[in-house]
Amino acid sequence: MVKAIVFSDFDGTITLEDSNDTLSDNFGISKDQRLELFKELINSQGSFRDSFKIMMDNINLPIDECVEYLVERINLDPGFKTCLEYCNKNDICVVIISSGMRPIIQALLRHLLGNEEADKLTIVCNETEILDEKTGKWTIKYKNPESIHGHDKSISIDELKQATELSGYKVDQAKEKPIYFYCGDGVSDVSAAAKCDLLFAREGKDLITFCEKGDIPYHKFQSWKDILNGIKQVLEEGKDVKDLMQNHKH
């Protein structure tokens, strides 16, 4: 039986760099334009779904060439492998919940972890659709096109909480509730984090700013070494998740 489920964002959380920003800045709209779009989003004008689609549709490179470009440049968080190994040995299931697109995430994970490890992981994300075979023109296909998030991570977590099997693990979440961890770095992680028992938020990123503003409890991490530490404190030492929350008001 699964003891805990670690839900994690991909870009900027499992990896150090954001693959979509990297693509957009090099083959799409300028970095200034992208930052302008992000600024509008933080000030809650416009939807992530629409802005992100603009970013993706402006990338002038076939998807397989995007993948080739990214595998050379995107790095894994230095503590991720060790944490994943620990999870695999201790009946802890790791699930990736991403606003990115499957071909990119899958290729990066295979490159960074090897095919066997990568293919064990459950990935819930958006897809791509080829619009023109000749030119390689593609677009993003959202998991939740009706949502302003494109992929509403909180819906996915609700769905996953109903699953009876996850990444090869048998789970009966109604009978024996696992501890839910969430790891993220961006604003799109806020609604998902609210569905979990403990949020790990990457130091120096938007998610922490957002948590501070909204009084949302979190545990700061610099690398997955800190996440592993936190998981061990809860599962091995029996610490209450509340004791790991940094801005929790008792």
- For Mg ion, the binding residues (CB under 5 A) are 9, 11-12, 185-186
Residue with CB nearest Mg ion?
12
Nearer to Mg ion, 28 or 186 (CB): 186
Of 201 and 234, nearer to Mg ion (C-beta) is: 201
d(CA 69, CA 57): 17
Positive or negative CA dihedral for 219, 221, 183, 118? negative
Shorter beta-carbon distance to Mg ion: residue 186 or 230: 186
Least gap, CB of 236 to Mg ion (angstroms): 28
Nearest distance from C-beta of residue 3 to Mg ion, angstroms = 26
Least Å from the CB of residue 12 to Mg ion: 4
CB of 56 to Mg ion, least distance (A): 15
Q: With contact defined as beta carbons under 8 Å apart, do 42 and 206 qualify?
A: yes
Residues 6+ apart with CB under 8 A from 66: 23, 27, 59, 104
219 secondary structure, DSSP code: E
- Tell me if 126 sits within 8 A of 101, measured CB to CB: yes
Residue among 147 and 173 whose Cβ is closer to Mg ion: 147
Tokens of residue 53, six digits: 């689609």
Residues involved in catalysis: 9, 11
